[in-house]
Structure 1
Amino acid sequence: MSKTIYKLLFLLLALPFITACSDDEETETAGNVQVEISNVVGNAPLELGTTTYTNPAGDSYSVTNFKYYISNVRLVGNNGQVTYVEPESYHLIAQDGKTSFMLDEIPVGIYDKVELSIGIDEKHNHSTDQEGDLDPSNEMVWDWDTGYKFLTLVGSYTGNAESGALVFHVGGDTNYKTILLDLPQAINLHEKFSYKLTMQADVNELFQSPNLIDFDVMNSGGHGAGPSMLAENYGSEFLKVTGVN
């Protein structure tokens, strides 16, 4: 039998193994992470319109509408490099609506931090002709100016001296905040390809750190482009990672 025929036979016998190896490599190129966010007040779940809470300044309050944008989500590798950036990363989190989203097509690797922003970056903030979670029909744009409300909290309060409506609408490029959070356990896509990342957003932290907010003194604000104390607070302790599994 000629050498040419031997070579052909070898290639035919080896082809299934080569194909199998190629398929294995393809299945190891990407994973996914589901991000789930629970809105809470301290240790209690946030309930719209039915429950009264106490803020760190001692005022009682209830919430009827609570929404905020999470955008530009990244997973940071354990070598300190940003190794995954979610495309078209704009998520409107609403207590009476969406509270989770999926990160897809994540390159196989080990990730020990998540970076995200609260609000809409300047590139997208000044055009409301957009779709999906940025659609103006979501009622998160200003009526009198071009731009998005990064966070909306509406309700009522009773303070030590006053009572009335709470109306916080925070927006403006100055109030776009980016935070970096450590994961309690690394996302290792070498070990498995699907994870769940759970987070909590604590409403009381909006009124506490670094700015203590007394509703008798401030019970509305955030309209426009000026710096907001609420934005300083949501850039601090508002969001926490509670688990990875």
Structure 2
Amino acid sequence: MKHLLNMSLTRFKRLFFLLPVLAVLASCQKTVSHDIGGPEHNLTISFRAQVDTMPLEFGTTYHNFFDEPYTVSAFKFYVHGIHFINTETEAVFEVAKDRYDLIDFADSASASIKIGVLPGKYNRIAFTIGVDSARNVSGAQTGALDPTKGMFWTWNTGYIMAKLEGNSPVAATPNNAFEYHIGGFRTGENVVEKITLLFPYTTLVDLQPNKTSDLYITTNLSAWFHNPHDIRISENPVSMTPGPLAVQIAENYRKMFSVAEILNEP
């Protein structure tokens, strides 16, 4: 009897200990909002292409981490799944899940995204680079996912998530061209990357109803070539299929983003 009593007391103590832990966990659950349901905040997200500290200009010669000279003729990627986050309150606003934008730096207008945001205070933005698996196996689509955008392979291999093309004298290819068409969504070759960026100085930005803001995101192309993986144009001038090289390049370029500034309407 004494043994059974001790066991019961032990279980009670464990339960008593777990109750506050469960309460804390419950309080930390994120509140995700999808609908605005009232006046919205008008936000423009603009991606600025750079090579280190220099603005990207097609046809201009740059040097990568390994001092390999190159010029750029195409640079574009898909963005979807945009979230705004307040890490203090765990509040999250998610822009429409089915929205996809193709950022194409050959078309300056496409580098800016205009969206409505649930008014509130936020200190982070998150988004996904690429196209989710369901869309990859749905065949050719419309809008930003239209095959005429030059970012669709086939129903089997799906979409190109990000593309970088140019020329370099170190590329032993016809016309010294290098081509990085990064795609793949299946296990072991998935290059869809989720990005989370802090606002400058990790401060909360108050996005008020019926107001307008501009958020500028620096996109540093140099990241494609280095850290954590060394990608030399002389050794790997082409990546045109899903696989280990594409995964490595995606793991590099996921670090090319940073929030430069946020300008709020007075």
In structure 2, stretches of 5+ residues that fail to align are 1-35
Query: 1:1-245 counterparts in 2 under 5 A?
Result: 29-48=39-58, 50-79=59-88, 81-87=90-96, 88-97=98-107, 98-104=110-116, 106-142=117-153, 145-159=156-170, 162=172, 164-173=176-185, 174-184=190-200, 185-190=203-208, 193-224=211-242, 226=244, 228-235=247-254, 237-245=255-263
Range 73-82 or range 176-185, more displaced: 73-82
How far has the Cα of 1:148 moved from its partner? 0.5
Change (3 A) 1:46 1:110: same
Q: Deviations over 1:177-225 (max 9, x none)?
A: 0011101143302487221110111111111121121111111115125
Q: Contact 2:140–2:152 at 8 Å: present in 1 too?
A: no
**Using a 3 Å threshold, how does the CA distance of structure 1 residues 191 and 134 change in structure 2: closer, same or farther?**
closer
One-letter amino acid of the structure 2 residue matched with residue 132 of structure 1: G
Which amino acid counterpart does residue 205 of structure 1 have in structure 2?
A
User: Is the contact made by 1:69 and 1:91 (CA closer than 8 Å) also made in structure 2?
Assistant: yes
What fraction of aligned residue pairs are identical, expressed as a percent? 26
TM-score (norm 2): 0.75
Matched length: 216
Change (3 A) 1:70 1:176: same
Displacement of 1:81: 2.6
Check whether the contact 1:73–1:86 (CA below 8 A) recurs between aligned residues.
Answer: yes
* 1:42-95 C-alpha deviation (Å, 9 max, x unpaired): 1111112x2111000110001111111111111112435352111133110011
Query: What is the Cα deviation at residue 146 of structure 1?
Result: 4.3
**Structure number with higher strand proportion:** 1
Unaligned runs of 5+ in 1: 1-25
Please tell me whether the aligned partners of residues 40 and 209 of structure 2 are also in contact (alpha carbons under 8 angstroms): no
Instruction: Report the RMSD for the aligned CA atoms in angstroms.
Output: 2.3
CA 1:168–1:144: 2 relative to 1, 3 Å: farther
Partner of 2:168, secondary structure, is strand
**For residue 79 of structure 1, what is the amino acid of its counterpart?**
E
Structure 1 segments of 4+ aligned residues over 3 angstroms from their partners: 26-29, 143-146
Distance 1:28 1:144, change over 3 A: closer
Partner Cα separation in structure 2 for residue 27 and residue 71 of structure 1: 22
Cα 1:61/1:111, change in 2 over 3 Å: same
The TM-score, its normalising length taken from structure 1, stands at 0.81
CA distance in structure 2 between the partners assigned to 1:233 and 1:141 by the alignment: 22
